[in-house]
Structure 1
Amino acid sequence: MSRAGVGAGAGIGTGVGVGKPERIARILEQEIRSGRLAHGDQLQSESALVRRFAVSRSTVRKSLGHLAERGLITTSVGIGSFVTFDGRIVADEAGWTKALRKAGANALTRTLRLEIVEDGDLATRLGLEAREFVALDRARTDAGDGHAISIERSRIPMMPEIENLPMRGLRDGSLHSTLREAGLVPDHGEEWIDVVALEAEDAEAMACPPGTMFLRMRRVIRTADDRVMEHITSLLNPTHFALHRNF
């Protein structure tokens, strides 16, 4: 998008005879024409607009369509970013373990932690009232020579569907399968990638010197009703992993 909304929590009013998509479009149009949104600014994500206006994703998309028709925003089609392992795209729709295997990784997976934890800071960042999460930390190393591949730290907000997960364990060793069995299906999300130096704890788990540079990928995955399903922080060995972008 070429323009972006700012602020949050705006109401959409009750305009008589005007549908929600049009009311939202008018609010965003007013922000654009008033100068609150500068030319070239990037629009808030669909997820952010869903939360801001408390409407469905389809409603937001209709609103954006109205703005595009009026020439107030532009969209870029076909842009996508993909994580690769040794040059092969990691298609993780069926879970990270299967995705790495299909990409050619010969990985040995160790579970470092599977328990219930409290994390007030994370709850605040995700906009959650409850502070409890199921924490699953896993390290992956090469099954041949043992060199580091990745560490993944998953945090699943506590909910009735998964409250017994630490006692039951993962279905077939797969978090993806376990969550689907509980009726939790990923629909959309956000992702950030940067570079960090391994801290002592992570370096020990990966048998690397502290300070070794790894890619860090952070993800927030949501269900179709925009409920936070999982927060993941992955540390990826740049010897294997890269970010591939189409534009």
Structure 2
Amino acid sequence: MPGQVQKHHRIAEVLAAEIRSGVHGRGSRLPGEHALTKRFGVSRTTLRQALRTLGEEGLIETHAGIGSIVTFDGTPLDHRLGWAHALAGQSRALRTEVLRLETASEPALAAELGCATDRFLALDRVRRFAEDGTAVSLERSRVPAVGAVADIPRTGLRENSLNRTLIALGRVPHSSEGTVSVRGLCAEDATLLGRAPGEPFLHLSQVYRAADASLVERVVSLLDPAHFELHVRSTSGGTP
């Protein structure tokens, strides 16, 4: 039943993206099975497989007679990094400093990613601890500037979140691939982060695509390794 397997994985990915973005906060209850089967157009069996996957990923707990409760309590600096990562000291408040929000032509990136347009929404931001201003990440997102996405510099981000804005526009990731490495900061990035050139930071580059394989977003993140950790989960018989 390959089609059924594909469906339940896709549903799990959509709901996981919403949970990590804060659409469904910790302690909240997901919509009931009837509402979710109607939303995704699937059977209860397929939906329950999707919920089981979310449970295995530590995002929800499902209880008979109660429903599915969100248990995810991470502080995602970019909800769609594709890794279950946590910021040390979850109680510390963060603020976002937007460095750039505009559309721009990037033909080299379009060619690299096989994108039909070379116009991208460019969003660059630094995340800082609110109490002392210490920078913990620098993120550069690029989204094909088609349709309503091209209007975002004028209309603004929904709840100051690119992810929530894209979800509202129907641009939900179905798959992703990426690389992670440790690199020394270049002079420009070190200045933006208030760090010394050459200081080692995690370098995470990830590409997100929709179910039709079209590009949703490419994001490159520089993360302070003192505040991030990488969790890798695998299932029996699978590949990590």
TM-score class, shorter: 0.5 to 0.7
Instruction: Choose 1 or 2 for highest CA Rg.
Output: 1
Q: Distance in 2 between matches of 1:155 and 1:218?
A: 11
Equivalent pairs: percent with the same residue?
39
RMSD: 2.8
Contact 1:141 1:206 in 2 (8 A): no
Look up the match of 2:152: 165
Q: Distance in 1 between matches of 2:165 and 2:171?
A: 9
Contact 2:87 2:227 in 1 (8 A): no
TM-score by length of 1: 0.59
Q: Map 1:113-192 to 2 at 5 A.
A: 113-192=100-179
Cα 1:130–1:192 shift into 2, 3 Å: same
Q: Spell out, residue by residue over 1:116-155, the C-alpha distance to the aligned partner (whole angstroms, 9 max, x if none).
A: 1111221111012321100000101111222221011000
Runs of 4+ in 1 over 3 A off after TM superposition: 88-96, 99-105
Count of residue correspondences? 161
> Which structure 1 segments of 5+ residues have no match?
1-20, 22-79, 81-87
Aligned to 1:203, the other structure's residue is in SS state: helix
Look up the match of 2:221: 234
Aligned to 2:211, the other structure's residue is in SS state: coil
Q: Distance in 2 between matches of 1:244 and 1:197?
A: 22
Q: Distance in 1 between matches of 2:134 and 2:116?
A: 40
Q: CA deviation at 1:101?
A: 11
Look up the match of 1:219: 206
- Matched letter for residue 137 of structure 1: D
- 1:193 corresponds to 2:194: no
Cα 1:146–1:90 shift into 2, 3 Å: closer
- 1:244 corresponds to 2:231: yes
Contact 1:196 1:213 in 2 (8 A): yes
Q: Distance in 1 between matches of 2:198 and 2:78?
A: 32
Contact 1:101 1:107 in 2 (8 A): no
Cα 1:95–1:218 shift into 2, 3 Å: closer
Contact 1:185 1:223 in 2 (8 A): yes
TM-score by length of 2: 0.60
Cα 1:230–1:102 shift into 2, 3 Å: farther
- Matched letter for residue 150 of structure 2: E
Q: Distance in 2 between matches of 1:104 and 1:143?
A: 11
Contact 1:94 1:176 in 2 (8 A): yes
Cα 1:101–1:135 shift into 2, 3 Å: farther
Q: CA deviation at 1:161?
A: 2.6
- Matched letter for residue 198 of structure 1: L
Cα 1:162–1:208 shift into 2, 3 Å: same
Q: Distance in 2 between matches of 1:112 and 1:167?
A: 15
Aligned to 2:110, the other structure's residue is in SS state: helix
Q: Spell out, residue by residue over 1:33-87, the C-alpha distance to the aligned partner (whole angstroms, 9 max, x if none).
A: xxxxxxxxxxxxxxxxxxxxxxxxxxxxxxxxxxxxxxxxxxxxxxx9xxxxxxx
Contact 1:153 1:232 in 2 (8 A): yes
Q: Distance in 1 between matches of 2:76 and 2:135?
A: 20
Q: Distance in 1 between matches of 2:222 and 2:78?
A: 19
Q: CA deviation at 1:244?
A: 2.2
